[in-house]
Structure 1
Amino acid sequence: MFRTPSPARPVPLAFGGFIALAAAMGIGRFVYTPILPAMAAGIPLPPTEAGLIASANFLGYLTGALTASAGLFARHPRWWFLTGMAISALTSGAMGLTPAFGVLAALRFVSGLASAFVLVFASTVVLERLQAAGRPGLSALHFGGVGAGIAFSAMLIASLEAGSASWPQLWFASALATLVFLAVALVLVPAEPAADRPAMDGPAAQTHPDTAQKPPAAQATPPLWTAPLVRLVLAYGLFGFGYVITATFVSVIAAEDPAMAPVQHLVWLVVGLAAAPSIYLWNAVSSRLGSASAFALACLAEAAGVTLTVAGFGPFWLMFGAALLGGTFMGITALGLTQARSLSPAHASRLLALMTASFGLGQMIGPFVAGTLREATGSYAAASLIAAAALVVASALVFRSDQAWANSQ
């Protein structure tokens, strides 16, 4: 139906991936953050239930990522990521149909699963075609869609709320935007049988959603568990816990403080704008300092950002904290997964699952802890400071591995 893009046109292809991730991640996975203040006031939705709904989404994402990475759906990656976008749109729209907690949690679970499928399979298609076209560097444009989608969702929700839209209408608009993005991705990433064949080692081994490089061929089978890998897996789980509390509740944090309310709609926009170019930034830092030092530095910067969002220093520092969060979480994700594969290429697929599981567990625990502590203490400060401490520990764990990590380069 559509012409297949030639290797001479990789930019439209990368932009198609950008659009897919903007829809499934920036909207489907993260739009809950800017909509949450309206839901909390309109339903009303207590903090514990808000946290559990977020945790359900992250459980769905973990389930989807592990399922997609297992290779069971590898034959038609384009079909699966387009289907995931459609499901993401449907579940977003359905969120506006009922205030029932159980239904909302179930919908967010399915939405998380769908977003993982889009991330895995859109990356499988786009990154393989970019590699074949000799333009693997455009993968940063592809992954930049996550931050751009966050920024778009912030502007969409802010503009609708300025017009007094209700929380269900915010979800309906998000669903419509996802459908529009689906139509664009359908054109920019057309069917190509050669790219839609399953990879020899499956999508988990070839193109994980958060990293663009293929693992080097295994020459031997060294032990899976080494001290640097154990520390890295633990650090990755702490990172998942450390970033997700602020990423879920930062708009609520701003809305609940009268001094911060004027920047409530801007704070999530800042997160997205900072996230969009962050892969380029942290790749440059990694090439200069080494992957371990870059990972440790990014975790410390993110810890500072998480702390600033609840420090009460004023709107500027809240916005600066949001920028530090947005500017680090995608970079840490890419650095961690890339280096896990470099440390043990013979176990690339297993490490993908272990890292994803560790990260997903941290993501699921974070919102529940935050909601529970919010009801117990009256603010998100305690949970955010615990998250910042977790990021500091993650930094220390990986920094200790600096020499072993450097030796793997």
Structure 2
Amino acid sequence: MKILFDRNSNAAILLAGILAIIIGVGVARFAFTSLLPFMLEDSLSLTYAGVLASFNFVGYLSGAIFAIFIKDINTKVKYFRIGIVLSILTTLVLATTTNETLWLLSRVVAGFGSAMVLIVGAAIVMVKLSVEDKTKAMGIHFSGIGFAIAVSELISQAVLKEGTWSDAWLVLSIFGFVISLYCIYILSFDKVLKKDAPKHKLSLSIFSPYVILLIFAYFTEGVGFVVQGTFLPDIINSLEGLEGYGSIGWLVVGLAGIPSSILWMRLAHTFGSVNIIMIAMALQVMGILIPTLTTNVYLNLLSGALYGSTFIGLVALFMHLGGKLAGGNPVVLMGAMTAAYGVGQVGAPLYSVALIEYFGNYNTTLYLTAFIVFLGILFLAYAKKLETRG
């Protein structure tokens, strides 16, 4: 037990990192997906839900790009703590008011907080860990995204048995506050670190046709991630005979996501990053299309499993490949990749709600989303062709 309160223990660092992701990604982001069907039943319109999701990703995108330029590790600790606080306070807003302007503002701020916790938090974990193979350890850290979905879903469903969705937001914010104390204590340094950040010249020479295709492919994955990430429980609930199965489907997403980044990174090491990214995206396309083809409960739960087991791994795979290609100039490429993914995240909920309102179901949205992700696979196939020629 003592080891879990030692700031320099690898076990404590990984545990604090996973708990931080549960706050920044589970409580502040994915609990919205979990509670959305219940909020829609009450007073929330689907169009407004799509706008809220889009605003959340605007905040995340701005935070993700901002995070790339924070060089000093002590400043990173400060912004990580700010992210934790913002994640909890913005959840409290959803619990205590129904003012639409406050909700929109809180979703933007929550997105920024999520980026600070996920991206800046990962950098702190990486610096603090004292292991030779940090890639494997970071795979364990990012399993926190799967835990974030599963834990926030279990808490939400437990509260909803007796209470309302606003009660669930309140319990989630209290839970986030309690575990945040441990995260803030462990993910800090005993003394101020003096570490000069390497300076790299701003160069656009890295943007070869191969890299541009990779960025376009990552944009399509941003679209593929966000549609199911926002609507999957409601998609399942909307199918005939599957009312109420959405929450189980969302729990399956979280459980499938826990080991995914570790497994995909190992496969990429053996078979090559681009090959494995293409396979993961193909599985994601299958998962997106399942609800349009069948109302079979097991196949639709498989849709959740395919989504959970691919979207987390794909972020890790793209970022790992981008890092390798960037060499000594990571900021420019990481910024471009993050922006492309973010544009996909911001735009997808907006076209989704427009198509759902027009056609009265999710099918057209899912067809378009699957087609966009499939385009990403084609971009990567062409990138491979260019690489072979090169």
- Name the TM-score, length of structure 1 as normaliser: 0.88
Tell me what 1:79 maps to.
78
**C-alpha distance in 2 between matches for 1:407 and 1:285:** 24
Distance 1:107 1:145 in 2: 23
Query: Residues 343-378 of structure 1: CA distance to partner in whole angstroms, max 9, x if unpaired?
Result: 231431100100000000000001111111111111
Structure 1 equivalent of residue 126 of structure 2: 127
Range that drifts further, 305-314 or 9-18? 305-314
- How do 1:5-404 and structure 2 match up within 5 A? 5-6=7-8, 9-42=9-42, 44-71=43-70, 74-130=73-129, 132-136=130-134, 137-163=136-162, 165-193=163-191, 196-197=193-194, 200-201=197-198, 223-402=205-384
Give the drift of 1:258: 4.3
Please tell me whether the aligned partners of residues 75 and 198 of structure 1 are also in contact (alpha carbons under 8 angstroms). Answer: no
Structure 1 residue 262: Cα displacement: 3.5
The one-letter amino acid paired with 2:81 is L
CA-based RMSD of the aligned residues comes to 2.4
Query: Which range is displaced more, 358-367 or 98-107?
Result: 98-107
Deviation at 1:386, TM superposition (A): 0.8
User: 1:78, CA displacement in angstroms?
Assistant: 2.1
Identity %: 24
Contact 2:5 2:12 in 1 (8 A): no
Instruction: Measure how far apart 1:328 and its partner are.
Output: 0.4
Measured against aligned partners, the alpha-carbon deviations of 1:211-246 in whole angstroms (never above 9, x if no partner) come to xxxxxxx9xx78222111010000101110122111
- Residues 94-139 of structure 1 show CA distances to partners (whole Å, capped at 9, x for unaligned) of 1122223322111110000001011122112110122x44351211
> Deviation at 1:92?
0.3
Unpaired stretches in structure 1, ≥5 consecutive residues = 206-217
CA distance in 2 between partners of 1:339 and 1:357 (Å): 16
Preserved CA contact (<8 Å) 1:51 1:370: yes
- Counterpart CA distance in 2 for 1:333 and 1:406 is 24
Superposed structure 1 runs of 4+ greater than 3 Å apart: 2-6, 72-75, 196-199, 403-408
Question: Are the structure 2 counterparts of residues 350 and 360 from structure 1 closer, same or farther at C-alpha, using a change threshold of 3 Å?
Answer: same
Equivalent residue pairs, number: 386
Is the 1:286–1:294 contact (alpha carbons within 8 Å) kept by the matching residues of 2? yes
Distance 1:30 1:293 in 2: 29
What is the TM-score with the length of structure 2 in the denominator? 0.93
SS in structure 2 of the partner of residue 241 of structure 1: helix
Q: Which residue of 2 aligns with 1:215?
A: none
Q: Is the 8 A contact 1:271 1:326 kept in 2?
A: yes
Give, in whole Å, the separation in 1 of the partners of 2:389 and 2:331: 21
Structure 2 counterpart of 1:48, which letter? T
For the residues of structure 1 that align with 2:332 and 2:224, how far apart are their CA atoms? 24
Deviation at 1:310, TM superposition (A): 3.6
Shift in Å, 1:403: 5.7
Alignment check: 8 A CA contact 2:19 2:144 kept: yes
* CA distance 1:73–1:200, change in 2 (3 Å): closer
Task: Report Cα offsets for 1:123-172 as digits up to 9, x if no partner.
Answer: 12110122x44351211111111110100111111111122x21211111
What's the secondary structure of 1:103's corresponding residue?
Answer: helix
AA aligned opposite 1:140: G
Provide the rounded CA distance (Å) in 2 between the counterparts of 1:323 and 1:3.
34
After TM superposition, give the deviation of residue 278 of structure 1 in Å: 0.4
